[in-house]
Amino acid sequence: SQQGEEDPQALSIQEGENATMNCSYKTSINNLQWYRQNSGRGLVHLILIRSNEREKHSGRLRVTLDTSKKSSSLLITASRAADTASYFCATAPNRGATNKLIFGTGTLLAVQP
């Protein structure tokens, strides 16, 4: 399977703390994206980082990408109870349809109020 892996599988933190999730993938990529999914709902795009970028910020989100290690991390700072959700990384292939994403296994984040 080409599916990426994420760790931890589950993470429980207190409101105000930072949450870090890691993603590893197997193939060369054009870009890597992070999505959020609330229980029983569709996914919402959070951030996209290209293969030639190393770090990107968006509000309370910080994403890093290390193509040599084929890994990425998502940091959510000053977490809120509303951040509780599953988070998935998704990689776009370097060749072919760059919108044909391969999703990681996901991290279930629970932020306790």
Partner 1 sequence: GAVVSQHPSRVICKSGTSVKIECRSLDFQATTMFWYRQFPKQSLMLMATSNEGSKATYEQGVEKDKFLINHASLTLSTLTVTSAHPEDSSFYICSASSGSNEKLFFGSGTQLSVL
Binding site for partner 1 (CB under 8 A): 3, 30-31, 33, 35, 40-45, 48, 88, 92, 97-106, 108
Please report how close the Cβ of residue 7 comes to partner 1 at its closest, in angstroms: 13
Answer whether 85's CB lies under 8 Å from 110's CB: no
Closer residue to partner 1, CB minimum distance, 30 or 77: 30
Sign of the Cα torsion 19, 68, 65, 95 reads negative
Q: How far is the CB of 33 from partner 1 (least distance, A)?
A: 6
Choose between 45 and 54: whose C-beta lies nearer to partner 1: 45
Q: Kindly report the CA angle at 30 between 88 and 37, in degrees rounded to 5?
A: 15
Q: How many CB atoms lie within 10 A of CB 78?
A: 11
Using the minimum distance from each CB to partner 1, give the nearer residue, 70 or 103: 103
